[in-house]
Amino acid sequence: MSYSPGEIENKWQTKWSEQEAFEPKDDKTLEKKYILSMFPFPSGRLHMGHVRNYSIGDAMARYYRKQDYNVLHPIGWDAFGMPAENAAIKHGRHPKEWTYANIDYMRKELATLGLSFSETREFATCDELYTKWEQEFIIKMFEEKLLYRESTTVNWCEDCHTVLANEQVEEGCCWRCDNEVELKEMPGYYLDIRKYADELLEDLKLLEGKWSPQVLTMQSNWIGKSQGLEFDFKLSTASKEKLKGEFEGFDVFTTRPDTIYGVTYTALAPEHPIVKALIKNALLEAKVIEEIKNIANMTEVERAKAGKVGFDLGITVIHPLTGEEIPVWVANFVLASYGGGAVMSVPTHDERDFEFATQYDLPLKYVIEGGKEGEAYTGEGVLINSEELNGIKNTKAKAEVIKLFEEKALGKGTTNYKLRNWGISRQRYWGAPIPFVHCEACGLVPEKVENLPIALPEDVEITGEGNPLENHPTWSKCTCPKCGSEAKRETDTLDTFVQSSWYQFRYATDPKKWNACGIDKEDVNYWLGVDQYIGGVEHAILHLLYARFFTKALRDVGFIDDLKEPFNNLLTQGMVLMDGAKMSKSKGNTVDPDALVEKYGADTARLFTLFAAPPQKELEWNDSAVEGAFRFIKKLYDRRSKVSSKELPIIDHSSLNKEEKIARAKVYDALKKSIDVYEKTFTFNTLIAACMEALNALDKQENEQVWAEGLYIITHLLEPIIPHVCAELSEELFDSKNLQGKLEVLEEVFVQDSLTLGVAINGKRRNEIEVDAGASKEDIIAMAKASVEKWLEDKTVVKEILVPKKMVNLVVK
RNA sequence: GCGGAUGUGGUGAAAUUGGUAUACACGCCAGACUUAGGAUCUGGUGCUUCACGGCGUGGAGGUUCGAGUCCUCUCAUCCGCACCA
């Protein structure tokens, strides 16, 4: 019978499901492996990126399961989010109905791939039971002061009609729709991720060598720690009066305290309170006020494009060391959100300050030796024009100046972070409601835990205009959990990244307990951290930073025990490309997994994805290479006719002929390689290649025992990659015995009677010789010399190097 | 600008970690079987040369008996951040 993937795959998928073959065991004394591929958004159909992601994860899960590890390999659905609402707007379908229908369809697609997911642990993050526990966490974080509500400037996407977190703004545009992000002042809920900035940075060290350097540096840059001096600029008496005594001065932060004597002006962000006060009290020219307001309304991208723009604010501050009066400017390049929105400007040693100063003709004062007149010098050097600091190397002066400021109580050494707090409010319907209530008397009040979940209303109109929960006639009406008077329910919902920040703990929690708790500590203690996490680099900052933070926050509010990091090892898979570009619907260069499986079967789809490139690299799609993968499986399946015994034969290696010996060696080469591949390098392509080589070598000989042993081992090795055909072959040929436990490498097969050695002269390969395995060094050298005689004429051999089992190198003059 | 990575045949990629560069696969060429082949099988295939040979891992140096692998410099491509004071 020829290979028919449909039949075989159906048979085994049914069997596995009936046997509940992929459920983790309840026994916590067993050694565990938690293998997790990032869960999908139920967009409607699987794409090749999913196939790749899950093929990699499944290979690992099956490998460890076969070695008798207790394996947790779950799947679920990251089910809240904008696309569900867009579908509602476009096709008039309710987001909930759309989402669950998609899940049902995609679950079937996953099933046809034969992935070894646990079926009992599946959930969708939009399940009310999931929302319930998430809301409890949120309330607890509020009580523990990790969550707060405030009104501030936020990133607003008019297209998506919602606020975005900093991490969701890419080059000034919305990460989802690419619309330019506006700045807007409005209230929202924030998680205090800054409180964990240092821990998040420090613990990256625990992940070194386990996460890719790329992701680690991206996270570290995003957190953006820098150390420097923070101090107060006092307003001059006249300026203080001008501002009606409202301000004493303002704080600045600098990483260059060494340049303190070079300060010739200061600059404030357009949003700075002092600037606002000047505007409010009309202390600036009307034209200038207009311009400043203009800047404040610009997006960050627009500001960057506009070049450097600023205005003299007509007030001055006192230099803390020299007592000089220094002008205060407002400048469009000063960020409101960092370092207090104010900077000390040292045009001689900072490019930006220099550009600004040149443009507005502000004074320059060089304080570090080494630069040229007429440009900013940012290198190292000795201090000049710096009073008591003259002659000190600037690198050393940083600490000196901080010390000086601290002694005089003028300022202090500080650490600053680029990381901003995580804004989690979204003005959207399809998300988890933020479980708070606004009461006129009590203010912001969390919902009572026994009232959770606060569920979404089913009857809702989704038009794309405004916030559907806000527009709902009755939903937000409620009573205050504290005083019982009439109150208004919060209509913002949680960022969907909140759901994906703790799903790894939900999977680990035994489903029997899902009604009783959100996360079971004991279960989490057993299963976490995730031994292998697999997903795309696009989450290098967003999801992975949030999930790391949430882990630490959940620990501190008491929902999990001491756990530093959720994901011990991270494999970032490359994209799937077609003609050099990322597969996408809009480009029309997609390959439909369903059609692929229909035509060739799941095993071919899986084999190709793992064979065409190592998982970390981009995968270029190639139809004829898919054919090649299919051909290999057919060939493997066809060779079952070579085997008649059902046992792993015991072979007398010495009685074999040369081809038989080579075949065995190739088979065991593959077996040896497999441990490294499955446990360390994940370069499945090389293991598959080794199996192909082994099969090619087996084809060159006729020994039935060697064939039996070969297929016994090859199907064992490939089962995690092409499980259906291997299960089928294994059942037919070996009563499935080779799919349990470990196989041992027999070193004897690597012992060869004779070896082929390369012969090189001065490192240049000239010939090869065949030598007896037991030949002495002298004999080998002699043979080598004889084989390259023509190159040795008129030369003297000055050195002979024998690399055992590899080559001979003769150094001649 | 800063940071991270990657450069090997016509293509996807290997190389036991300093030891015969290009395994495996795709493609291509030739042959076999075929009415036919976009099926299957067999053989060949880095470049150059009639050949002996020469040249070959982005480029230039260096260390070494020996370098794709280590060191220095350099070029190109991809990704991330981007006025963070």
CA–CA distance, A398 with A365 (Å, rounded to integer)? 18
Flag residues 397-416 of A with CB < 7 Å from strand B.
416
Dihedral angle sign, alpha carbons of residues A636, A638, A641, A642: negative
What's the CA–C1' distance between A722 and B9, in Å?
30
Burial pattern A576-607, b for ≥16 Cβ within 10 A else e, equals bbbeeeebeeeeeebbebeebbeebbbbbbbb
The CATH class that applies to domain A225-417 reads: alpha beta
What is residue A1's predicted lDDT score, i.e. its pLDDT? 66
Task: Output the pLDDT for position A171.
Answer: 79
Same fold, A5-133+497-582 and A643-751: no
Q: Can you spell out the DSSP letters for A350-376?
A: -HHHHHHHHHHT------BTT--TTS-
Is A52:A110 a contact under the CB 8 Å cutoff? no
Count of Cβ atoms closer than 10 Å to residue A197 Cβ: 22
pLDDT at A668: 96
A699 touches strand B (CB under 7 A): yes
- The answer to whether the C-beta of A213 is closer than 7 A to strand B is yes
Residues A160-193 have pLDDT tens digits of 899 998 889 887 888 888 888 888 889 999 999 9
**What pLDDT is stored for residue A792 in this prediction?**
80
Nearest alpha-carbon partner for A808 in A762, A752, A746, A745: A762
Distance CA(A658)–CA(A735), nearest Å, equals 30
Phi/psi of residue A758, nearest 5 degrees = -80, 145
Question: Residue with CA nearest B2 C1'?
Answer: A221
Assess whether A803 (CB) lies less than 7 A from strand B: yes
CA of A676 to C1' of B63 (A): 32
Place of tokens 């679920």: A76
Nucleic strand B near CB of residue A17 (< 7 Å): no
Q: Which nucleotide is nearest to A216 (CA to C1')?
A: B4
Mind giving me the DSSP string for A249-292? Answer: EEEEEES-GGGGGG--EEEE-TT-HHHHHHHHTT-S-HHHHHHH
- Dihedral angle over CA of A797, A803, A808, A813, nearest 10: -30
Whether domain A5-133+497-582 has CATH 2.60.120.10: no
- pLDDT for A211: 93
Pairwise CA distance, residues A38 & A57, whole Å: 9
Domain A753-812: which CATH class?
Answer: alpha beta
In this prediction, residue A249 carries a pLDDT of: 96
Whose CA is nearest the C1' atom of nucleotide B11?
A622
Answer whether any strand B atom is within 7 A of the Cβ of A696.
Answer: yes
Q: How far is CA A427 from the centre of its chain?
A: 26
| Residue A689 CB neighbour total at 10 angstroms | 14
- C-beta separation of A324 from A313 below 8 A: no
Q: What is the dihedral of CA A284, A290, A292, A294, to 10 degrees?
A: 180
Distance CA A92, CA A482 (A): 39
Which DSSP helix (H) or strand (E) runs through A417? strand A411-417
- Bases in strand B with any atom closer than 7 Å to a protein CB: 3-5, 11-16, 19-21, 23-27, 39-42, 65-67, 79-85
CA distance A311 to A494: 40
Pick the CATH number of A643-751 from 3.30.499.10, 3.40.50.1110, 1.10.730.10, 1.10.287.130: 1.10.730.10
- Residues of chain A short of pLDDT 70, as ranges, are 1
Q: CA-CA distance, A265 to A357, in Å (whole number)?
A: 9
User: From CA A109, how far away is CA A597, in angstroms rounded?
Assistant: 9
A576-578: strand order across its sheet: A581-582, A576-578, A619-620
Handedness of CA A767, A772, A777, A781 (dihedral sign): negative
Q: Which residue from A150, A174, A96 is spatially nearest to A458, judged by alpha carbons?
A: A96
Q: Is the CB of A521 under 7 A from strand B?
A: no
- The span from the CA of A497 to the CA of A535, in Å, is 15
* All structural domains of chain A with their residue ranges: 5-133+497-582, 134-192+421-496, 225-417, 643-751, 753-812
ipTM over 0.85: yes
Give the pLDDT confidence score for residue A669 in this predicted structure. 95
